Amino acid sequence: QASKLYGLASPTLLARAADASLPPLAMENHRSGVSPDTFAKVPGLRENFTLLTTSLDRVGKRYVSSVEHKSMPITATQWHPEKAAFEWTTEQHIPHSAEAVALTQAIANYLVAQARLSSHRPKDIKAERALIMANYEPTFTAVYEEKRLEVARQTARKLGRPGALVAAGEPGENDENLFDQIYFFPS
């Protein structure tokens, strides 16, 4: 079964991303991700999600770096697809190669395509205009700031399946159960 999340990336780009002999295309900056063994042992994960990729953390330990739900429009990453194109600091070892940015763009294209499938629309032109990005003052964030949102539990609650995603604790309490990015697209 082909991955939806990586489906818009070229085979050449995916082969490059998978080549462990070359520098990674993603920032590998995690300390306690979900191990492949844990993923396989937790029924709510293995039964509902397809493990797409694994990566090595800062100390060389393998962790699950991306998954997608088997039947619902949910993907999750334990890395930041946006950083290659938008996080410009030399202190964090973020790759900025053409391939890293191309991977970012392929994932962005997938996410936008999924968002376009949603039937949710503003109720009128006034509500639509209130959502325009230009209404909000930009905040300079070139320096990395860690802000962890525990979205897995909230998303699972919205789905009416609190155990379907992960058995998440409070941020910092059990970081193994948190994904950095969870993309959920209601129809």
- Residues involved in catalysis: 80
Task: Tell me the CA end-to-end span of the chain in Å, nearest whole number.
Answer: 22
User: How far is the C-alpha of 105 from the C-alpha of 99, rounded, in Å?
Assistant: 10
Q: Determine phi and psi for 109, rounding to 5 degrees.
A: -60, -40
Our measurement of the distance from residue 145's CA atom to the centroid of its chain's CA atoms, rounded to an integer in Å, reads 17
User: How far is the C-alpha of 53 from the C-alpha of 63, rounded, in Å?
Assistant: 9
Number of helical H runs and strand E runs in the chain: 7, 4
Cα distances (angstroms) measured from residue 93 to each of 30, 48, 107? 12, 33, 20
Our measurement of the distance from residue 175's CA atom to the centroid of its chain's CA atoms, rounded to an integer in Å, reads 15
